[in-house]
Structure 1
Amino acid sequence: MMEKILIVDDEESIVTLLTFNIKQAGFETDVAYTGVEAIKKAEKENYALIILDLMLPEMDGMEVCKHLRYHKNNTPILMLTAKDDELDKVLGLEIGADDYLTKPFSPKEVIARIKAILRRTTFQETKQSTLQIGDLVIFPDRYEAKMHNKVITFTRKEFELLYYLASNKEKVISRDQLLNAVWDYHFVGDTRIVDVHISHLREKIEPNTKKPVYIKTIRGLGYKLEDPT
């Protein structure tokens, strides 16, 4: 059975362009023209990925993304926008989008982004080993962790970042490496999203965020997750 992608955009020309190229790439497609319609469809059907425009009638893309993530819908989201605004990009990724593409875009780039997101998603979902660092126990198959037997909840990207750091325990990982591994980003300036997510992780796992014992900042190099001492 072919994987199905939900296209959420109110511009008919964009929908037509995306539908044609995505089908040519071997996927099925479905369409929603408003944010409310997108949520209804996403709640009824399991899509491989959602292409979500930022500017939508009834409910914008940011609100749609926040709603889906709040209700534990972890379907990968590729966000589209006509705005070339770094703040929108960071905010979109921070609330749970998996990737971000600014209009105008080439169909080839859209397909490449879709395939990259699906590769990463499949790779993450095949991980089953439980990891333990100090009092932190990570369950990759459930996308959750526990500290002192208390469940900690994460956004999808927070968890993937934590898992990647834990899988490379004691190794110093640069911001660019983390972008490539978790977000597949290669654009100058986007490393700020790593710092934002590291800050969120520390708030959830560190006894004292001002003196972190799990996620250490290695000045000028990046981050390292290690057993607390």
Structure 2
Amino acid sequence: MPTVAPAAPAGTVRGLVLVVEDESSIADVIRLNLVQAGYGVHIERDGLGALSAVQRLRPAAIVLDVGLPGLDGVEVCRRLRASGDWTPVLFATARDDEVDRIVGLELGADDYITKPFSPRELTARVTSVLRRTHGVAAARPPLTMGTVTVDETERRVFVGDSEVELTATEFELLAFLMRRPGRVYSREQLISEVWGYSAIAGVRTVDVHVAQVRAKLADASPIRTVRGVGYAAEDPSRSGRGRRDG
């Protein structure tokens, strides 16, 4: 049966986190640490239950085990994104295979953590992804580069008049670079600045997210690869550069 953790003291709940984990001992540890950090927690044990809970509860974030019975976590994430649901997703998996990580990120996951993990690290990752989602409170003027416009207040991205759906992490990565046009950042710097923690996530995570942003923005993408260094943002029309620069 699904379980709901006791609510945090009044005024301290930071949002509801849906934890989808079929191993009770792991789910209980995750729940305990998230509640101590001030989050509300709802636990589901399988993929179908997770999809139903997302519809009913509208969680702020989802901690999603990849190896669920029946409908696995990858398929749950795929269905959420296909339906237009962009709730931040943090994958948890016992498999430490780069292909698995890349597939998860390409489906629209915001972050990835491998078992066994520190519950405190997972809590920090949840906090970080929610900061990326809700981190802009004050109104800011839109960022524009070429035909790409980033509205940080509404957290919306447009190419011309067409809106483009980005995950919370993809949005923050694009906005971070566009706030600092022409400045080159290494992958390690981007993990620290955008993801909000040290480079334990691995530099490949940055490459996959950049590739996803470029695929969604097509030739309008302002993200430029600086070989051997990292990434920068510049107007592609001024440089005569398409998105396929490495």
Shorter-chain TM-score range: 0.7 to 0.9
Name the CA distance, whole Å, in 2 between partners of 1:116 and 1:207.
30
Aligned to 1:173: 185
TM-score by length of 2: 0.80
Name the CA distance, whole Å, in 1 between partners of 2:115 and 2:196.
19
Aligned to 2:244: none
Aligned to 1:190: 202
RMSD over equivalenced CA pairs, Å: 2.5
Alignment pair present for 1:226 and 2:234: yes
Residue pair 2:185, 2:230 contacting (<8 A) in 1 also: yes
Name the CA distance, whole Å, in 2 between partners of 1:49 and 1:189.
19
Name the CA distance, whole Å, in 2 between partners of 1:16 and 1:204.
37
Residue pair 2:129, 2:169 contacting (<8 A) in 1 also: no
Give the counterpart letter for 1:61 in structure 2: G
- Displacement of 1:30 in angstroms is 0.9
Alignment pair present for 1:201 and 2:213: yes
Aligned with 2:18: secondary structure? strand
Name the CA distance, whole Å, in 1 between partners of 2:170 and 2:74.
18
Give the counterpart letter for 2:25 in structure 1: S
How many residue pairs end up in the alignment?
A: 225
Aligned to 1:60: 72
**Are residues 201 and 114 of structure 1, via their aligned partners in 2, closer, same or farther at CA, if it must alter by over 3 Å?**
closer
- Displacement of 1:128 in angstroms is 4.2
Matches within 5 A, 1:10-159: 10-124=22-136, 128-159=140-171
Matches within 5 A, 1:206-217: 206-207=218-219, 214-217=222-225
TM-score by length of 1: 0.85
Residue pair 2:77, 2:107 contacting (<8 A) in 1 also: yes
Residue pair 1:130, 1:140 contacting (<8 A) in 2 also: yes
Name the CA distance, whole Å, in 2 between partners of 1:125 and 1:63.
33
Residue pair 1:145, 1:151 contacting (<8 A) in 2 also: yes
Aligned with 1:137: secondary structure? strand
Aligned with 1:58: secondary structure? coil
Q: Deviations over 1:55-107 (max 9, x none)?
A: 11221111111222222322222211111212212222222222222112222
- Displacement of 1:39 in angstroms is 0.7
Aligned with 1:91: secondary structure? helix
**Are residues 72 and 180 of structure 1, via their aligned partners in 2, closer, same or farther at CA, if it must alter by over 3 Å?**
farther
Share of identical aligned residues, percent?
39
Q: Any unmatched runs of 5+ in structure 2?
A: 1-10, 239-246
Name the CA distance, whole Å, in 1 between partners of 2:215 and 2:74.
23
Give the counterpart letter for 1:91 in structure 2: V
Give the counterpart letter for 1:72 in structure 2: G
Greater shift, 53-62 or 110-119, is seen at: 110-119
Q: Deviations over 1:122-177 (max 9, x none)?
A: 21565643111122222234443333323333343332221111111121121222
Name the CA distance, whole Å, in 2 between partners of 1:155 and 1:120.
10
Greater shift, 76-85 or 141-150, is seen at: 141-150
Name the CA distance, whole Å, in 2 between partners of 1:34 and 1:146.
36
Residue pair 2:132, 2:169 contacting (<8 A) in 1 also: no
Residue pair 1:96, 1:156 contacting (<8 A) in 2 also: no
Name the CA distance, whole Å, in 2 between partners of 1:169 and 1:81.
36
